[in-house]
Amino acid sequence: MGRGQGPVRVANPVLPGCYPDPSICRVGEWFYLVTSTFEYVPGLPVHRSSDLVSWEHVGHVVDRAGQLDYDGIRSSGGLYAPTIRHHDGTFYVVCTLVDQQDDTRGGNFLMTATDPAGPWSDPVWLDAGGIDPSIFFDDDGRVWMHGTRLAADPEWYHQTEVWVREYDPVAQRLVGDEHVVWTGAVRGAVWAEGPHLYKVDGRYYLLAAEGGTEIHHAISVARADAVTGPYEGNKANPILTHRHLGPGQDVVGVGHADLVEAPDGSWWAVCLAMRPYGGYHYDLGRETFLMPVIWHDGWPVLAPGLGRLPAEVDVPFAEAWTPGVTQGTTSGAVRPDDPRWTSLRRPWVEFAKPDGDGWRLTVRPTTLTEPGTPAFLGVRQQHQDVDVRTAVRPVAGPLAEGEEVGVVVRQSEDDHARLAVVGGADGSRRVVAVHRSGGVETVLAERALPAGDGAVVLGVSARGQDFALVAGVRDEEPETVAVVDGRTLDSVATGGFLGLWLGVYATSNGSPTQTEVVVERFEYLPV
C-alpha cells in the first residue's frame, strides 16, 4: 500500500537480530537510529529511514583504528547504550565504553559529525561516571547531559540514580551543579537506566528503563517544570512492560525506549525486546522494535489501546515497505561491502582483504578464546531458521599442522561452537567440530579429509535451537558433522548481553604463521 491507500504495515522487530538499546532522532524528513555494539567493530551502526519502516544502513560512529581502545575487553563489554541527537547542523552521539576488568579505562564520551554517515570525531571524554549517557538541547540554548549510575546511598541492592548536569559545548566539559533527579518509579526496582529528556508543550519529560534488561525490564516516565526537577512520576508507571505476562510470551524484556515526533505530528517510540524460542532462550539477542505513542492528559501513552508491543505496526505516512539488509531480508552472498560484517575489537582491514565475492584472510595466532582480535568476520544471526555456507581454502599449499580455518556460531570467548578444517602432518587435514561452553572445550566429532589444499565447504544450518555444523568437499552436498544445542549459547545460559553471530575465522593457535586463506563466498540463507 502507498500513501493515500491506507497505512503501510510493518512487522516487528524493525531491526531483527542483535540491535539493542536503540536511540532515535529526526532531522527534517529523515529519522536516524543507533544501537549498541559492545566488542564488535565497526561500532554503533547508524541507520536512516524516511518513514520508520524501511531502514538503510549509512555508516558507523566508530569505524577507524585509534578512535577507541577495545584491546583486551571481554565479550559483553565495550560500547553500551548510545544516544543520538541533532542540533544546529551537528549530530551528537554520547555513549559508554565499559571495560569490566579494568575500571580505569573507558567511561562516558561524546562524538560529533556533520554527516551521520561519518566521519565522526574522536571521543571527548566526560567527567561523569556510570553508564547510559544522553544529551538534551533546550530551547533556551543550554545543553544538558544526563545518565545513570549506582546510587551513592542506596536503599536497596542495585538501586541507581539519574543525574542531570549542564554541558558547555564550546569548552567541551560539564559545568555547574549536578542534580540527582530520579531513582526509579517502583521501590525495589533495579537499574533505573537509559534516561532521555524531552521538552513537550513547555514541560520536561524524563523517560527511563528499570528492572534490568531481562524479563523484568520496563519503561517509566516522569515530568517537571524545570529540567533539573523536581520530577513527578506518572501514576501509570511503568507505562509499558511485559514482565507481568510471564516468561512464556512471544516477546519479553521490553524496555530502553526513545521517543521521536514525526513530521505529521504523530509520536513514536523505539525500544528493545527479545523473542524467546525453544523455551526461555533468545539466541537472536535484544532487537529493535517500533510502536506508536499518543499523548493524554500531559503524559505519553505507549502502544495505546493494546498495552504491549504490537506484532505489526501501521505507519500512515509510509510509502511502501522496502526492507533493507539490516532488516534481515536479503538472502544470498554477503559481499565484502555489506554493512553487516563485523570483526572483534579492531578493524578487519588488519587481517582481511576483499577478494571478489569473498575474502582473503591472514591467519593469526590469536584464537577465538582470547579477548583479542582474531582473524574473524561475522554477521548477526537475524533468523531462527537459516543456512550459512562458505567454501574455504589456503592460498598456497596445505595448512600447516595446527592451523585451522572454519565457521563459528559465536556468543563469546567462553561460549561458541566452531567447525574447522585443521591442518596435520605431511599435508593431511581433518574437519573438527568443537563446542566451547563456560570456557571448557568438547570435541564433538572429527573426520578425515582428502589431503591437499582444495576448497572445503563448511556451514551452519540453524533450525530453531538445533545448530547443525556441516562440511563437505566441493560439488558434494555437505553432511552434518555435529549438532549443537543453541540453548547453551544464548545470553540466558551464558550471561552477557549479546545475540549470536555467524562467521568465519582462521588461526594458527598461537604459532607464528604467514599463511593466508581464501573465503570464496559466504552465504546467509534464511529458510
Distances (CA, A) of 118 to 122, 335, 421, 520: 11, 22, 39, 30
- Active-site choice (63, 161, 193, 283): 193
Instruction: Return the C-alpha cell found at 433.
Output: 567440530
CA dihedral (420, 283, 337, 77) positive or negative: negative
Q: CB–CB of 165/174 below 8 Å?
A: yes
End-to-end CA distance of the chain: 26
Q: How many other CB atoms are there within 10 angstroms of residue 455's CB atom? A: 18
Closest CA to 489 of 370, 381, 372, 331: 381
HSE-up of residue 38 (Cα within 13 Å, Cβ side): 21
21 is catalytic: yes
CA distance 34 to 46: 5
3-state helix, strand, coil in the chain (%, to 5): 5, 50, 45
Strand partners, 468: 461, 483
CA 339 to chain centre: 13
Q: CB–CB of 279/290 below 8 Å?
A: no
CA distance 323 to 321: 6
Closest CA to 79 of 64, 99, 65: 99
Q: CB–CB of 286/272 below 8 Å?
A: yes
Q: 120-127 — which CB contacts under 8 Å span 24+ positions? A: 120/61, 120/62, 120/63, 120/67, 120/93, 122/66, 122/67, 123/67, 123/68, 124/172, 126/94, 126/167, 126/173, 126/174, 127/173, 127/174
CA distance 71 to 101: 12
Q: CB–CB of 244/455 below 8 Å?
A: no
What lies within 8 Å, CB to CB, of 274 at 6+ separation is 251, 252, 253, 282, 284, 285, 286, 287
What lies within 8 Å, CB to CB, of 214 at 6+ separation is 253
Catalytically active residues, by annotation: 21, 193
